[in-house]
């Protein structure tokens, strides 16, 4: 959120959740929870120790606490169907946006100097937008979609997108995001997700686990036999005229467990790294498409 959006969100929450008419219908426990969540988020209280301008990190912390407060009220059932509709209705009212006079009013509301429900902006909002209260009647049932704008951070959805692009031969693909934290989180979560999926493929059930262990055991036995053969050939080297030196020169690599080896199902790159000419040729090929 931008600082403006955060201010609008806090104004809306404060107007709805601290409304005196609605406050009387809540239990003492619910009222106490609402006040304990919203009062510390009053900007003049939250930023009272800030000197000069508010930094981006300080605002992000405020945004995180604001989101957490809303999530808590939804989870605890304090913010119900009607409350959420009222909050969304206020946020959808564009009359207070882009107008310097209304901007000043908005910040007075944030400071607690003005009641948003009593302003002209709120009273005429339905007339300007052409939407009445019934128009937002179906907003609250979709609370599960509140974080939908960040679904790209869900690894399953991202991996499915990449696989779809792979089937269409559209890889490699550049994904742009101006939030470094989101990019790092996306890569980390996708990597962890693929690792877990690969592990589940080979150890997800008793049958898979047994089959994987037997295959690893077979590989280890083959490895031990090769090591013994090399040792025997080393002893015969001095006396055997037909001895093949390349056999000794060839290292016997230790076998990789099945669940850790390269599996095309969980990798979107080749086994070998591409050289610079290969990369340049691929770029030229994509440019010609």
User: Last residue of a domain, which of 103, 126, 146?
Assistant: 146
Instruction: Write out the chain's pLDDT in tens, 289 residues.
Output: 788 888 888 888 888 888 877 767 778 888 888 889 998 998 888 888 888 788 888 889 999 999 999 888 888 888 887 888 888 888 877 554 444 445 455 555 454 444 444 444 443 444 433 444 444 444 444 444 444 455 667 888 888 888 888 888 888 788 777 778 888 888 899 999 999 999 999 998 999 999 999 999 999 998 888 888 877 777 666 565 555 555 555 667 788 888 888 888 888 777 676 677 877 888 888 787 6
Q: Are residues 161 and 244 in the same domain?
A: yes
Q: Are residues 135 and 162 in the same domain?
A: no
Question: How many Å apart are CA 234 and CA 245, to the nearest integer?
Answer: 10
Q: Are residues 122 and 184 in the same domain?
A: no
Contact 91, 8 (CB under 8 A): yes
Length of the chain: 289
Residue 59 in tokens: 């605002």
Q: Which residue range(s) make up the domain with 250?
A: 152-288
Q: Are residues 162 and 266 in the same domain?
A: yes
Q: Are residues 14 and 133 in the same domain?
A: yes
User: Could you tell me which residues come within 8 angstroms of residue 22 by beta carbon, excluding any fewer than 6 positions away?
Assistant: 16, 83
Question: How many Å apart are CA 63 and CA 55, to the nearest integer?
Answer: 12
User: Last residue of a domain, which of 129, 146, 163?
Assistant: 146
Distances, alpha carbon 221 to alpha carbons 209, 228, 229, 261, in Å:
18, 11, 12, 18
User: Last residue of a domain, which of 120, 146, 172?
Assistant: 146
Q: Are residues 21 and 136 in the same domain?
A: yes
Q: Are residues 228 and 213 in the same domain?
A: yes
What domain count does the chain have?
A: 2
Q: Are residues 38 and 109 in the same domain?
A: yes
Residue 221: the pLDDT is 92
Preceding amide of 107 cis, omega within 30 = no
pTM: 0.42
Q: Are residues 120 and 164 in the same domain?
A: no
């Amino acid at each position: 959120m931008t600082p403006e959006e955060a201010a609008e969100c806090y104004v809306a929450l404060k107007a709805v959740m601290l409304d005196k008419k609605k406050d009387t219908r809540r239990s003492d426990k619910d009222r106490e929870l609402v006040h304990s969540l919203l009062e510390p988020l009053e900007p003049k209280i939250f930023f009272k120790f800030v000197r000069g301008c508010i930094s981006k990190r300080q605002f992000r912390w405020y945004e995180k606490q604001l989101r957490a407060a809303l999530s808590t009220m939804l989870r605890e059932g304090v913010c119900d169907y009607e409350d959420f509709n009222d909050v969304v209705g206020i946020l959808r009212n564009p009359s207070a946006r882009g107008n310097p006079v209304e901007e000043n009013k908005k910040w007075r509301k944030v400071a607690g100097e003005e009641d948003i429900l009593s302003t002209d902006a709120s009273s005429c909002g339905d007339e300007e937008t052409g939407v009445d209260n019934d128009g937002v009647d179906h907003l609250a049932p979709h609370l599960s979609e509140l974080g939908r704008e960040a679904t790209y951070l869900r690894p399953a959805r991202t991996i499915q997108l990449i696989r779809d692009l792979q089937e269409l031969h559209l890889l490699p693909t550049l994904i742009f995001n101006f939030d470094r934290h989101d990019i790092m989180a996306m890569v980390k979560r996708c990597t962890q997700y693929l690792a877990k999926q690969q592990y589940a493929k080979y150890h997800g059930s008793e049958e898979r686990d047994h089959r994987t262990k037997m295959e690893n055991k077979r590989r280890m036995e083959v490895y031990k036999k090769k090591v013994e053969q090399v040792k025997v050939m080393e002893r015969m080297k001095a006396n055997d005229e037909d001895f093949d030196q390349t056999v000794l020169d060839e290292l016997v690599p230790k076998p990789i467990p099945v669940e850790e080896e390269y599996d095309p199902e969980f990798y979107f790159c080749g086994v070998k790294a591409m050289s610079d000419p290969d990369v340049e040729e691929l770029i030229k090929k994509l440019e010609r498409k």
